[in-house]
Structure formats: structure tokens, C-alpha cells
Structure 1
Amino acid sequence: MAMAGRIRSSLPLLSRMMAAADSMSGQRCALRRALLCPTFSKAEVSRNYSTDLAKKVDKVKVPLVLYGGSGNYASALYLAAVKANALDKVESEFVDLVAASARSSTFSQFMKDLTVPAGLRVKAISAICDEAKFSEVTKNFLVLLAENGRLRYLDDIIKKFRELTMAHRGEVKAIVTTVIPLPPEEEKELKETLQDVIGKGKKVILEQKIDPSILGGLVVEFDMKIFDMSIVTRAKQMERFLREPITDLF
């Protein structure tokens, strides 16, 4: 069975486990909720996951410096995956998991619901990982998130994790926004142009977005830069020019 199929087949486990959680007394649930969402600092992330690896991976460094809680988790996951020589596999597993969860309202609810006891979260996540035959790195990381009430941040964490994997492979993501999809020949030409701008040693990964509000033209975003060549922006620039007083040069 394909990985995505194994993930989907394991999601019904959540319904049964969540139903069992609803039978707990209100007093017990209140006590659980008070303990589920502790403040989790950068130091605590290191203690719980990456510090144990630090002695083994002291020569491994993240290709980008990420900030915030999600960035810390993503960096720890990257270090663990590199040490296990399983970066591509871990990335693929998380991509499949995020896609599967997006199609399951039950799983999405489970990820966000802090009233679900930590023990039940861990049990459910472990069952899903076993059913999907996830790697130990992926399973351990998901269990860590479950234990610390951070499953609701999984999408953002994996988004940052993929920034690290792309940087590791020397890939640069470029987002081009247009009114209609670019024809293949124009997409190829744009990609080649961006490749010339970025230079050798890096590979452009082009992502297209459709936004009718720009009216025409295109907007290109890559490497913290934005090139806005849309009709709506040019029209606004022209409007500002027309509203400015004419300087008397004579």
C-alpha cells in the first residue's frame, strides 16, 4: 500500500481515540488542559530533542538560520534527519502526512484540539506512524510534538523544514504570480532568466500562483526580493505621477 494510503487508513483510529477521550470526567480534563501547553523555549527544544544529538552531530550545521519556535523545531528535525542519513525520506514522509491531514477533518481537529490528553495524542500519533511505516526520526519527532502540545504548528514547522532541505540541495524557490498560468515556453524562459540572475551552483524551483487582482503582467519573488511588474502596480505608479505637480523648468 502506498504511504499516502497507509496514512489515510490509519486516520480512523483517531475517531475512536477521541471518542474515548470525551468520556473522561470534567475534573480530569481540566487538570490535563492545565498541563498540556507549557511554554516551550528554544533551550527546552534543545534539551528534549537536539541536545542529545549535539555530541554526535556537532559537525552538522543547518544551512539557514531560522528563528522562532517553529524554526527551532525545524532545525532540530533537520539535524536529526541528516545524522540518520534520511533527509529525503523524512521530508517525503512529512509531505505525505501534511497532504493527508489536509484531506481529513478528523485529523485536523485532532492536531488543533488541546483538550485531547497528552497520553492519548502520543498513542494516536504512534499508531499512525506505525501504520504508515514512518522512519524513527519522523516518529520520534511527531511524538515530541504530541507530548508538548505542538502538533497544531506542524504545517509551519514543515514549511520551515523544507526551506532547510531546499537550501541543503542548493535550491532557490521563486514564486511567480500571474493572472493566468504561464505557457510552457514562457515559464521556461522565465526560469532561465532567474537562473542567470541567481547564478551557478543553485537551482531555481519555480512555483506559479494565480491572482486576477494584479490585472496582468507578473510578480516574481525569490531570495527575499520582489519584482513587481504587474499592471495594477504600474497603473498606481502612473496615477501618482499624474497627480504630482508639474515642475516649471522655464
Structure 2
Amino acid sequence: MALAQRIRSGLPLFRRILASSHSLPSQSCRSTPNFIIPEPQRNYATSAVAKKDNVKVPVTMFGGTANYASALYLAAVKANALDKVESELFDLVEAIKKTTTFAQFTKDLSVPAATRVKAIGDICDQAKFTDVTKNFLVMLAENGRLRHIDGISKRFAELTMAHRGEVKAVVTSVIPLPPQEEKELKETLQEILGEGKKVKLEQKIDPSILGGLVVEFSQKVFDMSIKTRARQMERFLREPINV
């Protein structure tokens, strides 16, 4: 059974747990602007893991979601399970996006911590997640941070891409690029990056650019859209003519 299917099959478990949550004593959850890794979970502390196994994050990032993503990255590398953890995390995010009840559960801080922990633990067991992923998700559930899982997964993706030497390039066009044009664009970007880096191309569709391409990679933007060219032409035509 595919991983996403196993996750979905585990959703009835957490629905039953939610139904019984009213019988549990409520626990208040204090929301703070920054994430702090709890003291009991020091096995996820980035500095401790890095010092012990000389593991370092490939990209320095800042912010609450970055702290959690870095902690998960270090734990996954230490367990030699980076690819597996990445797949599990992204499958969970997709399941949340596709299931309204699950999405609401991850955002509802009124659900007691014990209920959140049991629900996530049961889902992880049903989906046969690795211990690294399960422990991390349980930690988020316990501390009311599940609502940030999408942001955490995006920062985690930045780390895994850097780990593999991948550079994300986003190309925006009116219609999907034909395979040959996509191949040529990828080869061109690869030449610019040089050896040691791999281009990971992502396509976006935006009819508002009217035509042409907008390519973003390595903090650079190459705007070759018809919309931008038209604006440039308009500014040019409005300029006074010096005779």
C-alpha cells in the first residue's frame, strides 16, 4: 500500500480519538512568536547533535520553522534516513492538504495535548513511519506546533536540496513548456551553475504574463515575459524625444 494511502487509512483512528477528547481534561496552549525546542526533547537540539556526530546543516537558516527543519535534518542524517524522512514528511503534508478534518485537527489548539499526541502516534504507526519522523511529529503535536508543518516541510526541502547539491529553478510560462524546451532550458541553467550543482526545475503557469518566460534561480530573476517587455516599450514611448 502506498504511503499516502496508509496515511489516509489511519485517519479514522484519529477521528475516533477526537470524538473522545471531550472526556479528557483540557490543557491550555500558550502561543509564542518563536519556536523553542523543549528541554525534554534535547535529542533534537541542533547544536548537540552536530557536536556529537559532526553533522552540520548545509544552509544556515533563521526563524522558527527553520529551527525545527534543521533539527529534523540533523536527526535524519544521524539516523541515515534522510530520503525516507523527507518522503514521509511530504506525504503527511499532502494528506493534510487533501483532508479537511485532518487539516482542522492540526490547527486546533483547543484539542488536548494528550489527544494530539495519541492521534499523531497512531497515524504514524498506521503509515509505518520511521522513528525519526514519528518522534518529531509527536514533539510537534505535544507542543501545539503541528499547524506549522507545511512551513517546516518547505524549509526542510531547502536543506535536503542543498545536501544533494540541487538548485531550484522556477520557470513561469503561459502554458507548460514542451519537453524539448524544458530540456534545453535545464541544460542552459546547468551550464550557468557549473559542475557540482544540479538543476531542479519547477514549472508554474501564469496566463497574466501573456507570453515568454520568467526564470528564477539562485536569487536571480530573468524576466523575459511579454508583459514586462510591453511595459518597457510603453515607458520608452512615453519618454520625450530630444531633437
Who is 1:97 aligned against?
A: 92
Who is 2:52 aligned against?
A: 56
Aligned mate of 1:143, from 123, 138, 141 = 138
Is 1:39 the counterpart of 2:6? The answer is no
- Percent identity over the alignment? 67
Contact 1:14 1:106 in 2 (8 A): no
**Root mean square deviation, CA, Å:** 1.7
2-side partners of 1:77 and 1:40: how far apart?
A: 20
Aligned mate of 2:197, from 194, 197, 202 = 202
Aligned mate of 2:180, from 185, 193, 197 = 185
SS at match of 2:37: helix
With 94-103 and 177-186 compared, the bigger mean Cα shift is at 94-103
1:120-159 equivalent positions in 2, closer than 5 A: 120-159=115-154
Q: Structure 1: which amino acid aligns with 2:83?
A: D
1-side partners of 2:242 and 2:146: how far apart?
A: 60
Who is 1:67 aligned against?
A: 62
| Distance change (3 Å), C-alpha of 1:13 and 1:46 | closer
Contact 2:7 2:95 in 1 (8 A): yes
The alignment's TM-score, normalised by the length of structure 2, stands at 0.93
Q: Structure 1: which amino acid aligns with 2:37?
A: V
Contact 1:37 1:148 in 2 (8 A): no
Unaligned runs of 5+ in 1: none
Contact 1:214 1:230 in 2 (8 A): yes
State the shift of 1:67 in Å: 1.0
Contact 2:50 2:56 in 1 (8 A): no
Contact 2:171 2:216 in 1 (8 A): yes
Unaligned runs of 5+ in 2: none
Q: Structure 2: which amino acid aligns with 1:53?
A: V
The alignment's TM-score, normalised by the length of structure 1, stands at 0.90
2-side partners of 1:202 and 1:46: how far apart?
A: 36
